[in-house]
Structure 1
Amino acid sequence: MRHDDLSIDTLAVHAGLPGRIDGAVSFPVFHSSTYAPRDDADDEVRYTRLNNTPNHLQLAAKLAALTGAEAALVTASGMAATAGVLTSLLAHGDHALFQADVYGGTRGFASQELPRAGVAASFVALDNPSSWAAALRPTTRLIWVESLSNPCVRATDIRGVVAFARAHGLVTVVDNTFASPVNLRPLSLGVDLEVHSASKYLGGHSDLIAGVVAGSRGRVAAVHERLERWGGCLDPHACFLLERGIKTLALRVARQCDNARALATELAAHPAVAAVHYPGVGPDPIPEAVRAIFRGFGGVFSLDLA
């Protein structure tokens, strides 16, 4: 299957499926924790904690197709993905840049956990690119941004971030949770790693907690190695639920975008609302060059009461 010839609607349903197992239309759940070596791989260890059961591998292949990545990895939560990425890229003495209004869990990890490992973090305003260079240090290794900020839903100039990162030799990481692969594929814009809290749009039904890392094989393998040691694996049944939820991803996100824009527009004119924060609605400007990279802006908006 050539993924570049297929729509995201088709990929969400069919990508990653290795073929029907004993005629099963849906990919089965493999509850075995341990697997015997295959005949052609006597030294292979297959174990649930290693994220290499059939459910993990099938789901990772689907996620790689959806994001346009060489490889993908599912994790026990979005924060497991975040921790795995940051600790695979940063070491004692390093420094990292984060957008100022980053998700609270990520900010907490950057400001509290990273310093315990000897890693420094600085927070920069994405709407003031001229200030980014001033925050650089000789030890700066990466810049972490969100495609759509959580919770204010500010759209990020991903191309501008990538250009800045390349000019200064930084790794670019984008949390694409609020956009989803339906509305934006950051890797196609030159981003190095993409992360998700799959508990939101990807899962879609509020019945699982999971995370995703996608990117080059080498970078994903480095995250995988960290999580093997920390045990940040996803249960096979949760893999099944996530794969099932992804099948309706494109349909759900399209309707959620329409609903959010309609509701945000209506509330922007309500006397009890001082401001609505949703790209293209309310006081937050969005340059046309930024608008053009998104297919939509998701189903979340925030507001200030009058």
Structure 2
Amino acid sequence: MRFDTLAVHGGERVPGPSGSVVFPIFQGTVFTSEPGESYHDIKYHRLNSTPTQTYLHDKLAALEGAEAAVATSSGMAAVTTILHTLLGKGDHLLVSDVLYGGTHDFVTAHAERLGWEYSTIDPQDPSSWAVRDNTRAVLVETITNPLMRVARLREVVEFARSNGIVSVVDNTFASPVNFRPAVAGFDLVFNSATKYLNGHSDLVAGSVAGSSALVEQVRHTLNLYGGSLDPHAGFLLARSLKTLGVRVRQQNSNALAVAAFLASSPKIAAVNYAGLPDHPDHGHARDLLAGYGGMLSFRLTGGVEAAETLLAALTLPAVAPSLGGVETLITRPAVTSHAGMSAEDRAAVGITDDLIRLSVGIEDAGDLLADFAQALDKV
């Protein structure tokens, strides 16, 4: 099945309980047990094994093209559970030098306390990557937050395989519409499902997908840490997944139009969007991705003051820190998503105080362009 058909029919139960076409919410936490069941197979909500949960897991796996998947209570629950599963005392992790602020903060603030070692790598320069005897995994992002660089993803997979380590990728910005890491050979893929997978700015969730063996290990760790997703949020997420392809393709198209418009303005100093021909990763992004995503970032020539003027003048985008919803959102990462990083760390990776990040929604592109035009006139 093609993606949009999978989005509607993947993981569905046919017929559904009592003939229901829409899989219902199983709100209960208590289910009868079977003789001989192992601990992790007991139907219990914290163990991620109840009917609503397993239905969602099957749907997520179908969309990712993966053997298995598990939902988590947030994107951070997804990545931290993966790392706790793969790493033990004395183990070493390779991580991209630009990460979502929460992931960066977790690794830099807690690795030493947990007995882990880590090294940062430039995901654009495979010649600089090197493993140690104790290296267990490499973690990158498909499209980085907030500079929209696209990693050398095929090379990451080959590097991990040749060195016997686990490849992990945060696919939040791309979503499985634009890139399917499990199909491309990544061992584990995770998403902040709060963002594109849900797409309606009304729940917090995460997802992990990959081989059955690895996902089961992650689920067992998750079961002990307690980061399960509640049934109602799981129901809403499964509902939203059915329109994922339709939404993301509109966001791809809108973002490309906005990026091109901004790049043509003399008031814009730089636009970061891999869909633009002058983006440093445009060549390999074009080969890797089915679409360039709904995220872009840019800087104005007037610095922070101009950025704040623009944000105040826009009428359609909400000034808010999240992303991936049907509505357009805009923010300055230095004071929101990456505020936890030190100023020195932000400067080292190019996250300037005047950088603006834009999550483009599904509004009419003409209306978005008109709004940016009138706002730029006020800068």
TM-score range with shorter-chain normalisation?
over 0.9
- Whole-Å Cα distance in 1 between the matches of residues 226 and 273 of structure 2? 37
Code of the aligned partner of 1:83? T
Q: Pick from 17, 24, 28: which aligns with 1:21? A: 17
1:107-128 deviation line (CA, Å, top 9, x unaligned): 1111112221100111111222
Structure of higher RCO (CA pairs closer than 8 Å, 6+ residues apart): 1
Question: Do 2:270 and 2:300's aligned partners in 1 also have CA atoms closer than 8 Å?
Answer: yes
Question: Do 1:75 and 1:211's aligned partners in 2 also have CA atoms closer than 8 Å?
Answer: yes
1:230 aligns with 2:230: no
Count of residues in Structure 1 that have an aligned counterpart in Structure 2? 299
1:217-241 deviation line (CA, Å, top 9, x unaligned): 1100111111111110000000000
Code of the aligned partner of 2:61? A
- Whole-Å Cα distance in 2 between the matches of residues 266 and 159 of structure 1? 31
- Whole-Å Cα distance in 2 between the matches of residues 72 and 201 of structure 1? 17
1:89 aligns with 2:86: yes
- Whole-Å Cα distance in 2 between the matches of residues 270 and 42 of structure 1? 62
- Whole-Å Cα distance in 2 between the matches of residues 42 and 282 of structure 1? 54
Match of 1:120 in 2: 117
1:48 aligns with 2:45: yes
1:142-195 deviation line (CA, Å, top 9, x unaligned): 110111111111112211111112222221001111100011111112110000
Code of the aligned partner of 1:295? A
- Whole-Å Cα distance in 1 between the matches of residues 216 and 289 of structure 2? 28
1:39-61 deviation line (CA, Å, top 9, x unaligned): 89698521111111111000000
- Whole-Å Cα distance in 2 between the matches of residues 47 and 284 of structure 1? 48
Secondary structure at the aligned position of 1:138 is classed as coil
List alignment gaps of at least 5 residues for structure 1: 1-5
- Whole-Å Cα distance in 1 between the matches of residues 158 and 179 of structure 2? 18
- Whole-Å Cα distance in 2 between the matches of residues 272 and 21 of structure 1? 57
Question: Do 2:274 and 2:282's aligned partners in 1 also have CA atoms closer than 8 Å?
Answer: no
- Whole-Å Cα distance in 2 between the matches of residues 269 and 81 of structure 1? 39
Code of the aligned partner of 1:256? Q
1:38-92 deviation line (CA, Å, top 9, x unaligned): 5896985211111111110000001111111111000000000001101100100
- Whole-Å Cα distance in 1 between the matches of residues 44 and 53 of structure 2? 10
Question: Do 2:275 and 2:282's aligned partners in 1 also have CA atoms closer than 8 Å?
Answer: no
TM-score, with length taken from structure 1 = 0.94
Match of 1:269 in 2: 264
Match of 2:313 in 1: none
List alignment gaps of at least 5 residues for structure 2: 302-379
Code of the aligned partner of 1:245? S
1:140 aligns with 2:129: no
- Whole-Å Cα distance in 2 between the matches of residues 179 and 253 of structure 1? 9
1:171 aligns with 2:166: yes
1:35 is displaced (CA, Å) by 0.6
Q: Pick from 235, 238, 242: which aligns with 1:240? A: 235
Code of the aligned partner of 1:233? S
Match of 2:200 in 1: 205
Runs of 4 or more consecutive aligned structure 1 residues displaced over 3 Å after TM superposition: 38-44, 287-290
5 Å-filtered alignment, 1:182-221, equals 182-221=177-216
Question: Do 1:277 and 1:303's aligned partners in 2 also have CA atoms closer than 8 Å?
Answer: yes
- Whole-Å Cα distance in 1 between the matches of residues 68 and 166 of structure 2? 17
Between the aligned residues of both structures, percent identity stands at 47
Code of the aligned partner of 1:26? V
Stretch moving more, 166-175 or 274-283: 274-283
Stretch moving more, 161-170 or 238-247: 161-170
Secondary structure at the aligned position of 2:293 is classed as coil
1:7 aligns with 2:38: no
Bigger Rg, which one: 2
Secondary structure at the aligned position of 1:27 is classed as coil
Stretch moving more, 232-241 or 161-170: 161-170
5 Å-filtered alignment, 1:279-298, equals 279-281=274-276, 283-286=278-281, 288-298=283-293
Question: Do 1:70 and 1:217's aligned partners in 2 also have CA atoms closer than 8 Å?
Answer: yes
Secondary structure at the aligned position of 2:295 is classed as coil
1:281-306 deviation line (CA, Å, top 9, x unaligned): 27532253442121001111001221
Match of 2:152 in 1: 157
Stretch moving more, 206-215 or 29-38: 29-38
